[in-house]
Chains A and B, each alone.
Chain A
Amino acid sequence: MIDYRNASRRWLAGMLMTACVAFSAYAQDSAPSVSQMNEEQIHQLSYNDLLQLSLEDLLTVANRFGMSADEILEYFLNKDIVAASKKSEKTMEAPMSSTVISKEQIEHSGATNIPEALRLAPGVIVREKTPGNYDVHLRGYDNVPSNNIMTYSENQLTLLMIDNRPVYSHTFGGTFWEMLPVEVSDVERIEIVRGPSSALYGPNAVTGAINIITKRATDKKVAVNFDNALGNNNSHLANIATSFGVGNKLLARVSGNYQWNGRFNNDFYTFYDSQYHTQEFLETTLDPEDITKRTVLKENASAREPNVRRAGEKYGANVALTYPASDKINFTLMAGAQKSAVLTSMLGNRWAPLSTRESQTQYIDLHADIHGFQAQINYNTGVNEYEKLVHGFKCDIDVINASLEYDYTIHNLTLRPGVSFQKANYNDMPYVNVDLHDGYMNADCEMSTKAASLRADYTAFGKWRLIGALRWDQYNIPDVNHFTYQFMTSFKINDNHLLRASYSRANRGPFITDTYSNYTWYKIPNVFHIYYMGNKNLKLPVMDMMEVGYRVKPVKYIQADFELYRTEMNDFSWFTDDSLQYTGKTFPDPAMLAWINYHNFDLKVIQSGFSANIQVAINKNLTMDLHGSIQQTELKDFFPVTTFAMIQQLQADAMVSPYKKAAYTIDPSTFVDQSHEATPSFYGGASINYVLRDKWNLNTSIYHYGKQTFAMNRESTVIDAKTLVNLKVSYNFAKQNKVFINIRNLLGDDSNEFAFADKIGTKFFAGVQLQF
């Protein structure tokens, strides 16, 4: 049968491509002057081009791109980073473990989306769950706690921001990458800070923070960028952006993005027999635990998730307006929207671990820099349905963030006091039956934080830098104050050697489900009901880190960065089965009831690791990068019993005394110390980029992770080591207009990268990238 939706989309894409090629050929008739070029175009001017420039154009190049060839090398190796200490500085000088991924690196690498681009940085573990849909962890801490539901495989410990706007989800804690309204084509650079940094960024920057800095219009000339790639499995990626000036000072950039990612599988893993099966099998095979035999393994899946070939689909649109009122006053207003659907690991505990998540959100974000004051206020709103297959996981979201900071410099001391406020509302009432408690919250729940912070940065003798950051957060629920801090020091031996050390503490913030859950899971309706109850008095998880680092430029075209770290984390919280009761009642009253509550645990997780990153820029045509992390994660006082074993124990205990509630007692003598196998002990990557005759760009990149064991309550599985090799070759056929082929996972290892998820095979893309 012909898939008319795909066919028509391909026709549309083909027509768009043809139109753009024709338009760009027309546009080539007039060569742009340097002032019309973007940074990348300037970057690609050959030496001969520079010799032929007019004096005016040469000045433009010098002023926009630095003055010397050495600075061109510096541009590749030693990029500017703000995230590392909230002050613009060179990566060589940054006091924390940090990496900048530039837009050029992303484009050359062929990364098709933002999480995939993170594989270019050290310390980031990236697994593809289903094509185009990723699990991202900074330095690990994944699958803590083990032996529970899939929710706990999500990364709840890294703060993701777009232009300093937190996009962390407070419902289940973590980041839903497909819900980002921006795509790789919108990215100016990605700044990654590894290690606890909530004193600088606020709650949830526990294993680190990732800040995506987006592109802005840089001049008034009208410019249009378009790229379009078609791939196997009907995958399709398209981005368009235009920038222009309005009036005397206002600059605008408007962009749109679209992705459709196809699956390699037709089937889905099921815990029923630990095999992959078709949707049809899942819809007809009965749940073996359902004593009434009235439900099936994946009920109504084809009605709710109609396309088994689709891994994900997303649309995004963004506007960025910049208004430099004067040298000291600058405003930026951004707004955008996204609509997405992705097949991903379920949060709950069903027979088939994959389900569709849908989202539609909008945001508005205002930045104002006024005489040293930096103010930011943003609002994000929309609807998220976390599991399309299961009723009760859809809610409206409204999140407001506001912050005000001020830079005050006296000689070698910079002080940056700040205040911030965050309020997040999650309301599932419009979508659930509140009386039946069939939604996860059945209420409009609010989380808010007020915070005050101070950062001090002092440089002594031009070489020794001392930075202290303190932050005090007051949460509405739990009603606690948290004090986090970060102390960093660096010693610049000379321009080519820098030693640094840091000690920091960060905490995760509370989130909606562990605080406000009030859910009745009608596991077998009118027979077995399970109550999930949140806890408003949970202690918040806290991480401490000690780290030392060394950066070196042994020769001017090599920069190397080494970091040695030890982190310790405690006050984890998760839910467990508390009690169970046989009621002795008959239909329609349930015969069995169970209660699941959220608790803190004594578990302590200790991680030691070493990361290295070596960047080489032999010249602007040949750049290389190599990075790797070796680490060991240990669990102390770990309770090694699965939640399934707990509920079976409760069922047995309840049988002994029917009609009485049997309670599960966690016995500390059963705690064990063990190595945590869910985080690979080695992961890293490498890339080489080569520009040939100013026309061809060849890029190959490798990403590797070691073997891991993922343990959840139904079963555990081994994820074998995997090496991904990618190759992108582009040809510049006219000015900045390119055709390219992009092959992801060239070696063809189609093993699944995430537990119980899809096979990830070789993806082929061919496309065009046009500028006019």
Chain B
Amino acid sequence: MKRLMMLVMVLVTISVGASAQKEKFKALFIYNFTKNVDWPAQLKNNQFVIGVIGNSQMAAELQTIALTQKVGNLPIKVVNSASPDELEFCHLVFLSSSKTAQLPNLLGKLSGKQTLVITDGKNLATKGSAISFIQDGDKLKFEISRRNIEKQGLKSSSALANLGILVD
């Protein structure tokens, strides 16, 4: 019995260092989208700014990605905000589903500012966002509007259009 207890204790001790995994796939996708969109050269200055509205967990997860990853050669800065007013200088803005009502206001603020707007909900790419996550049963999909991407002065890869649900 003593040997048994020792064995269990050794294995439990090994495991103490492990921490809970909290990242979400949506954050992985947002990071992945940055590899599939091209921002104008003048915006490639000292950092790549991602703004998040209404989802502090998403901001925290993007922050975790920012610790180890870059967009191109630029380090990532994550700005967690409650309103669109603070996010005028972002390369990318994620608007959480609970703040969808703020989309028209956000688009107004970001008009012509080369910002990729990502939303979370159905039919939002037809309402002005560039990319919008949708949940189809168990599957995570995304709508994409090439017109809205171009309207913001950005270019997207063909992979993005091919793999998403094109709305225009």
Instruction: Name A residues whose Cβ lies closer than 8 Å to a Cβ of B.
Output: 47-48, 50-51, 53-56, 58-59, 61-63, 66-70, 72-73, 557, 618-622, 686, 688, 690, 692, 698, 700, 702, 723, 725, 727, 746-747
Q: Report the Cα distance A622→B11, complex, angstroms.
A: 10
A63–B20 CB distance below 8 A:
no
Taking a contact as CB atoms under 8 Å apart, the answer to whether B23 and A47 are in contact is yes
Closest to A704 in B: B4
Q: Which of A53, A72, A621 contacts B32 (CB 8 A)?
A: A53
| CB pairs A–B below 8 angstroms (5 shown) | A59-B163, A63-B139, A725-B7, A746-B3, A746-B7
Which of A47, A56, A69, A698 is close to B11, meaning CB atoms less than 8 Å apart? A698
Do residues B28 and A58 form an inter-chain contact, with CB atoms below 8 A? yes
Contacting B69 at CB < 8 Å: which of A51, A53, A54, A72? A51
Q: Is the CB of A56 within 8 A of B8?
A: no
CB-CB under 8 A for A55 and B36, given A72-B21, A622-B15, A690-B11: yes
What's the Cα separation between A51 and B32 when bound, in Å? 7
Q: Are B3 and A747 in contact (CB under 8 A)?
A: yes
- B18 partner, pick from A61, A69, A72, A621, beta carbons under 8 A: A621
Minimal beta-carbon separation of A579 from chain B (angstroms) = 53
Q: Are B28 and A688 in contact (CB under 8 A)?
A: no
Q: Is the interface of A mostly helix, strand, loop or mixed?
A: mixed
**Given A619-B19, A619-B20; A690-B32 close (CB under 8 Å):** no
Q: A51-B69, A68-B24 are in contact. Are A618 and B15 (CB under 8 A)?
A: yes
Contact B139 A62 (CB under 8 A): yes
Is there contact, CB below 8 Å, between A54 and B14? no
B23 touches A69 (CB 8 A): yes
Given the complex of chains A and B, what is the CA–CA distance between A727 and B14 in angstroms? Answer: 15
The reply on B12 being an interface residue by CB < 8 A is: yes
Known: A55-B160, A63-B140. A50 touches B8 (CB 8 A): no
Nearest Cβ distance between residue B102 and chain A, in whole angstroms? 24
Q: Is the CB of B25 within 8 A of A62?
A: yes
> Which of A58, A557, A698 lies at the interface centre, i.e. has the most chain B CB atoms within 10 A of its CB?
A58
> Does A56 lie within 8 Å of B20, measured CB to CB?
no
Among residues of A, the one whose C-beta sits closest to the C-beta of B136 is A63
Q: Quick one: CB contact mask for B119-159 with A, threshold 8 Å, 1 for yes?
A: 00000000000000001001110000000000000000001
Q: Residues of B contacting A73 with CB < 8 Å? A: 21
Q: Is B39 an interface residue (CB 8 A)?
A: no
Q: Known contacts A48-B68, A700-B7; decide if A58 and B20 are in contact (CB<8 Å).
A: no
Complex Cα gap A700–B68 (Å): 34
- A contact residues around B68 at 8 Å (CB): 48, 51
7 further A-B pairs in the complex, CB-CB below 8 A; given A55-B36, A62-B139, A619-B21: A51-B65, A55-B29, A63-B138, A690-B18, A698-B11, A700-B7, A727-B7
Q: A51-B69, A690-B14 are in contact. Are A557 and B140 (CB under 8 A)?
A: no
Contact of A619 with B18 at beta-carbon distance under 8 Å, contacts A55-B35, A56-B159, A66-B138 already known: yes
Q: B6-44: which residues lie under 8 A (CB-CB) from chain A?
A: 7-8, 11-12, 14-15, 18-26, 28-29, 31-33, 35-36
| Bound-complex Cα distance A690 to B18 (A) | 10
How far does the alpha carbon of A55 sit from the alpha carbon of B3 in the complex, in Å? 49
Chain B residues within 8 Å of A, Cβ to Cβ: 1, 3-4, 7-8, 11-12, 14-15, 18-26, 28-29, 31-33, 35-36, 65, 68-69, 135, 138-140, 159-160, 163
Determine whether the beta carbon of A723 is less than 8 Å from that of B11.
no
Contact check, A698 vs B14: say whether CB atoms are below 8 A apart. Answer: yes
- Complex contact B7–A54 (CB within 8 A): no
Are A69 and B24 in contact (CB-based, < 8 A)?
yes
Query: How far, in angstroms, from A54 to B159 measured CA to CA in the complex?
Result: 9
Provide the residues of chain A in CB contact with B24, threshold 8 Å: 67-70
Which one of A47, A692, A746 has the greatest number of beta carbons of chain B within 10 Å?
A47
| Residue numbers in A under 8 Å from B140 (CB-CB) | 59, 62-63, 67
Known: A56-B163, A68-B24, A619-B21. A690 touches B4 (CB 8 A): no
A63 to B33, CA, bound (A): 17
Quick one: which of A56, A59, A692 contacts B14, CB cutoff 8 A? A692
- The smallest beta-carbon distance between A701 and chain B, in angstroms, is 11
Q: For A55, what are the chain B residues with a Cβ–Cβ distance below 8 Å?
A: 29, 32-33, 35-36, 159-160, 163
A555 CB to nearest B CB, Å? 10
Q: How far is the CB of A621 from chain B (nearest CB, A)?
A: 6
- Residue contact A690 to B15, C-beta cutoff 8 Å: yes
Asked if residues B31 and A51 are in contact (CB atoms below 8 Å), the reply is yes
Residues of A within 8 A of B3 (CB): 725, 746-747
CA distance A470 to B164 in the complex (A): 47
Task: Please report the C-alpha to C-alpha distance between residue A61 and residue B135 in the assembled complex, in whole angstroms.
Answer: 15
A62 to B23, CA, bound (A): 13
Cα-based distance from A529 to B138 in the complex (angstroms) = 68
Residues of A within 8 A of B1 (CB): 723
CB-CB under 8 A from B22, the residues of chain A are: 69
In the docked arrangement, what's the CA distance between A67 and B61, Å?
14
CA distance in complex: A725, B26 (Å): 41
CA distance A620 to B20 in the complex (A): 9
Whether A700 pairs with B11 at a CB distance below 8 angstroms is yes
Q: For residue B26, which residues in chain A have a CB less than 8 angstroms away from its CB?
A: 67-68
- Chain A residues near B23 (CB, 8 Å)? 47, 69
Q: Is the CB of B8 within 8 A of A618?
A: no
Residues from chain A with Cβ under 8 Å of B21 in the complex: 47, 69, 72-73, 619-620
Q: How far is the CB of B9 from chain A (nearest CB, A)?
A: 11
Residues in chain B near residue A56, CB distance under 8 A:
159, 163
Verify A58–B29 contact, CB threshold 8 A.
yes
A700 to B14, CA, bound (A): 13
B159-A700 in contact (CB<8A): no
- Which residues of chain B are within 8 angstroms of A690 by Cβ–Cβ distance? 11, 14-15, 18
Closest A residue by C-beta to B135: A67
Set of chain B residues within 8 Å of A54, measured between Cβ atoms: 32, 159
CB distance from B55 to the nearest CB of A (A): 13
- Closest Cβ neighbor of A618 among chain B residues: B18
Q: A55-B163, A723-B4 are in contact. Are A688 and B11 (CB under 8 A)?
A: yes
Give Cα distance in the complex from A747 to B35, angstroms: 54
Contact assessment for B32 and A58 in the assembled complex, using a CB-CB cutoff below 8 Å: yes
- CB nearest neighbor in B for A60: B163
Per CB-CB distance, the 4 closest pairs between chain A and chain B, nearest first, are A67-B140, A619-B21, A67-B25, A62-B140
Name A747's contact: one of B4, B12, B15, B138 (CB within 8 Å).
B4
* Inter-chain contacts of B35 with A (CB < 8 A): 55
